[in-house]
Amino acid sequence: MERLVGKLAPEFRMNAVKGDGSDFLTVKSEDYKGKWLVMFFYPLDFTFVCPTEITGFSDRYEDFKAVGTELLAVSCDSEYSHQAWIKQSKEEGGLGKINFPIASDMTKEVAKNYGILIEEEGIALRGLFIIDPEGAVRYSVVHDLNVGRSVDEALRVLKALQTGGLCAVDWEEGDSNL
């Protein structure tokens, strides 16, 4: 697979459901031009690790918004599955309302273009991509299916990228650049 970091992000157009489950929409890469985007893929709805990540990002939504960044979750499930998961209570194994849309990559084309499709299973690895306002991939991390990502680390890297400078190991907001 060709590297994505430093290159224009593959374009996408997907059906999605609003984070409150109220309606469907179409999300496309052009919608995010001029904005930072954290787009993260997860394997399946109604599973165990996935809701911890999605709700973790949702709980920190205002922190991402405060630095001019949109969030978008993606899986190969249908938008109808996403909606049912959002509308089902957490106590009954559902996701509950979240603060950003979940997109449906039913064709698996987007996961394939981002290099994270497990073709034999028809699902995506846990891939996270930070895309800058010009549409370039500035960061990517891909996890095994069993391991969730760190919202704190995604936010830390995002803020480091936004400085435009050189950031040493363990750089935190407020630290000087090299």
Catalytic residues: 50
Joined tokens for residue 165: 């400078």
Question: Which residue has tokens 């009954």?
Answer: 92
3-state SS assignment for residue 71:
strand
Torsion angle, CA of 64/83/21/119, rounded to 10 degrees?
A: 20
Per-position b or e across 150-165, b if 16+ CB within 10 A of its CB: ebeebbbbbbbebeee
Tell me how many helices (H) and strands (E) the chain has.
5, 9
Q: Which of 45, 42, 43, 12 is nearest to 27 (CA)?
A: 12
Q: What does the alpha-carbon distance between residue 47 and residue 173 come to, in Å, rounded to a whole number? A: 34
The rounded distance, in Å, linking the Cα atoms of 100 and 70 is 8
Contact 86, 79 (CB under 8 A): no
